[in-house]
Chains A and B, each alone.
Chain A
Amino acid sequence: MAVAARATSGRIVVTILTVIVAAFILGPLLWLGAHAFATDWTYPNLLPDGLTLDWWRVVFEDPKLFLSMQNSFFFAPVTVVVSAVVCLPAAYAFSRFDFPGRRVFLIGLFATNAFPKMGLFVAMATVFYGLNLMETTVGIVIVHVIGTVVFMTWIPAAAFSAVPRSLEEAARDAGASRLRVFFSVTLPMALPGILVAAVMSFLASFDEAQGTYLVGAPSYMTMPTEMYSLVLNHPRQVAAVFAILLSIPSVILLLLTRRYIMGGQLAEGFQIR
């Protein structure tokens, strides 16, 4: 009897904890979902007063908001590509060559994330004014790329290091040039790690608000920067719609890469040696 009672009470505790965790995760999402379709929903009422698609029309008919979506879907992929072009060679160098200052650079890249971003952006703005980069596409891409450097260097460097040297040597022995070895052996084998880095960079760029606002506003508004004015100038239902739109890319990317995560390949991408 006592054992059964203990098992039951254990199950009750687990259930309560599960409900609490679910409430914390799902609650805000439900709140967002409900507001996006509600005419109004205020405190004492358990259910929204009525349902409507008006808020979605407001978002899609507002040229400013639509432009910000276009901007976001332009800057995020461009940032990933630029970041990959800049960082992947560095990642390869970190993994394969022992040059002077290697560790200092590696830790230094990480350390840039340790300081408050806003201070960094203010300093950058001073430089950007001097170089006439304020309110330019290039300026915003630079800000975004800086935010992705750690992902695009550390994760691919670990992925490159995980490729055994003998596999590269075997390709050299088979007659391949260094460049061919990289593209036919090293890169395909490191691809899962590079994909992880690309996904994280895309999301980082997509969510970047502070730097974009400082450098781009008001000429270039992306979805996250537009969120600021939305929250202030529109009913909260519009903000809810916008928040849902903002989270769509993340969800899609996660679903796309889920197969890799399950296969363990994406998980392998996180190994740092």
Chain B
Amino acid sequence: MTTSPVPGLRLAGLTKTLGGRMIVDDLSLDIAQGELVSLLGPSGCGKTTTLRMIAGFLAPDLGTVAVHGDDVTAFGPEKRPSAMVFQNYALWPHMSVTKNVSYPLRVARVPRREIADRVAEVLDLVGLSHHARSRPAQISGGEQQRASLARALVQRPRLLLLDEPLSNLDAKLRVRVREEIRDIQQSLGITTVLVTHDQEEALAVSDRVAVMHEGRIEQVSTPAELYRNPATEFVSEFVGTSNRIPDLDLGEGEPDGHYIVRPEHVVLGESGIPGRVTRVLPHGPFTEVAINARGIELRAFLNTAIPAVGDDVRIRFERALRYVDGRLDAVVAPRIAEMAA
């Protein structure tokens, strides 16, 4: 990741109302040159609308989009230095893979020989040279995905936009293609925005993740930080698995406060809150254990000493996050454990 005084993409105060509903609400975000940032959120959070404003398909009501310091807000998609990979690939069925990939260059009136070279180069990069003459309908979903990526990369865009690029692939392929996309993005050093609702995908490939909720960015952080210290209760519940524990049950603090405990921070031991195991779900690398403690169902991820259903256990929390009015207040774990005991 290169840090540069001029951000690769700067969104300033983007606002969009569609059908009387505020879809994107005063959204600002800086993305460094060469950085990959994911917009992560549930459907309807405004992430796709934001991406369409970046690409130029939608004009923001308020706010500006700047790529490498150039304000492109007034430009249509054809004039912007960005290239997009669509969710359904959007390959043109009446053109071969080569024709699809060369289209942007033909439109830009690039000399024929240079087109041939650049198309060959980019098809080689995505590993699709052997399908150059195929029609989109003749190649697999994963290959269509790569053709779509090639069509974007051949333009040598300053900004690469990926709209849920992996959602139509099966689970195994998704993991492989996302690693390939990340490798290509890194080797080209291209500023990239990835829109996804899949938190695992966002955490795995991004330099930073922006979690969106109701048209606003709740938190922008590195994947590790996002998981470890979710800034809001929404982020903590959307990213990863969490146990949400109301204040009262632990007998501490002001009202409207909650504790969030990651399942891997729920430990069983000699002392602690008494509970009973209600379910044991083996996942392979770890086992998920559901425990009922004081009327709350808690989830614990355990590696060793797996209890059986019906066992009475005692629970401690290694680490917990306290939220007041939905925002992170403190990391207070050891104290709660003692309190509860």
The prevalent SS among residues of A at the interface is helix
The smallest C-beta distance from A150 to any residue of chain B, in angstroms, reads 27
Task: Give B94-115 interface residues, CB cut-off 8 Å to A.
Answer: 94, 103-104, 107-108
In the complex formed, the residue of B with least CB distance to A181 is B78
Partner of A174, one of B56, B88, B104: B104
Kindly state the separation between the CA atoms of A171 and B152 in the bound complex, as whole angstroms. Answer: 11
B90 at the interface (CB under 8 A from A): yes
Given A169-B57, A188-B94, A189-B93, decide whether A175 and B155 contact each other with a Cβ distance below 8 A.
yes
A67 at the interface (CB under 8 A from B): no
The smallest C-beta distance from B291 to any residue of chain A, in angstroms, reads 47
Asked if B83 contacts A166 (CB within 8 A), the reply is no
Given A175-B78, A176-B78, decide whether A170 and B94 contact each other with a Cβ distance below 8 A.
no
The smallest C-beta distance from B334 to any residue of chain A, in angstroms, reads 52
Chain A contributes a number of interface residues (CB within 8 A of B) equal to 17
Chain B contributes a number of interface residues (CB within 8 A of A) equal to 24
A169 partner residues in chain B, CB cutoff 8 A: 57, 77, 84, 86, 90
Asked if B76 contacts A172 (CB within 8 A), the reply is yes
A176 partner residues in chain B, CB cutoff 8 A: 78, 103, 107
Asked if A170 contacts B90 (CB within 8 A), the reply is yes
In the complex formed, the residue of B with least CB distance to A189 is B94
In the complex formed, the residue of B with least CB distance to A168 is B90
A175 partner residues in chain B, CB cutoff 8 A: 78-79, 104, 107-108, 155
Asked if A174 contacts B93 (CB within 8 A), the reply is no
Asked if A172 contacts B90 (CB within 8 A), the reply is no
In the complex formed, the residue of A with least CB distance to B84 is A173
Proximity string of chain B (148-167) to chain A, C-beta cutoff 8 Å, 1 when within and 0 when not: 00010001000000000000
The smallest C-beta distance from A260 to any residue of chain B, in angstroms, reads 14
B231 at the interface (CB under 8 A from A): no
User: Among A166, A170, A177, A188, which residue has the most Cβ atoms of chain B within 10 A?
Assistant: A170
A234 at the interface (CB under 8 A from B): no
Kindly state the separation between the CA atoms of A174 and B151 in the bound complex, as whole angstroms. Answer: 8
Partner of B88, one of A166, A180, A189: A166
Proximity string of chain B (258-293) to chain A, C-beta cutoff 8 Å, 1 when within and 0 when not: 000000000000000000000000000000000000
B92 partner residues in chain A, CB cutoff 8 A: 167, 170-171, 185, 189
* 28 interchain pairs, CB-CB under 8 A: A166-B88, A166-B90, A169-B77, A170-B86, A170-B90, A170-B151, A171-B103, A172-B76, A173-B56, A173-B78, A174-B78, A174-B83, A174-B103, A174-B104, A174-B107, A174-B151, A174-B155, A175-B78, A175-B107, A175-B108, A175-B155, A176-B103, A177-B78, A180-B107, A184-B103, A188-B94, A189-B93, A189-B94
